[in-house]
Amino acid sequence: MNAERNQNQHDVSCKIYKVQNDRLKVEVYWDNKPCSGYKIQIDDVEVKGKEIKVFYKKVYPEMDTIYNQVIKNPKASYEVKVEEVQGENSHDEYIITLIDS
């Protein structure tokens, strides 16, 4: 069960994968960053019917700290229980809202 659905908001994007009939995996990505100090985290995921709200936070590098100078694409993932999802692409029915908390 590796179907996915994409959602974009500015420099943050989201993919949803069906992992089981009653579970979805939400992944949030932050566009390329110039060092390893950038991170993204999912604070919460709310599911109400066919609407999924993903609350995420961007974490910036700390001042006066040395980081590797590499191109990084920060990612966070979260599994959420939903009503039973039928079929490989039925997760396409969900409305996804990304909220920077």
pTM, 2 dp: 0.81
Domain of residue 72: give its range.
Answer: 4-100
Number of compact structural domains in the chain: 1
What is the mean pLDDT for each group of 10 consecutive residues in the chain (101 residues)? Answer: 52 88 91 94 92 94 92 94 69 82 87
The answer for residues whose C-beta is within 8 angstroms of residue 38's C-beta and 6 or more apart is 30, 58, 59, 60, 61, 72, 74
Query: Cα–Cα distances in Å, from 21 out to 2, 5, 37, 84, 94?
Result: 12, 16, 36, 5, 14
